[in-house]
Amino acid sequence: MVTSTVPDGQNMNFAVKSALLMSFLQACRIDAPHARAETSYTTTEISRTFQSSLWLVEASRQ
């Protein structure tokens, strides 16, 4: 997890619909595995499994 040390810093998370993501990956010729809908993950499992898929996006005003 990333936390801010700036007093008024904000942490914004967002999600992308799976159909949009799969279309994008297919267009890029990336074979992505599909999880079964009945598969359930705990928060800890999600964090550990998908940590390498998380990106930090920063914006600055100049």
Tell me whether residue 22 is exposed, middle or buried, using C-beta atoms within 10 angstroms of its C-beta: 0 to 12, 13 to 18, 19 or more: middle
31-62 burial, b if ≥16 CB within 10 A, otherwise e?
Answer: eeeeeeeeeeeeeeeeeeeeeeeeeeeeeeee
Q: Which amino acid is at 42?
A: T
What's the DSSP call for residue 6?
Answer: S
- pTM over the 0.75 mark: no
What is the pLDDT averaged over residues 33-50? 81
Positive or negative: CA dihedral 41, 42, 48, 52:
positive
Write the pLDDT tens digit of every residue in 8-22: 656 666 677 888 888
pLDDT, residue 3, reads 56
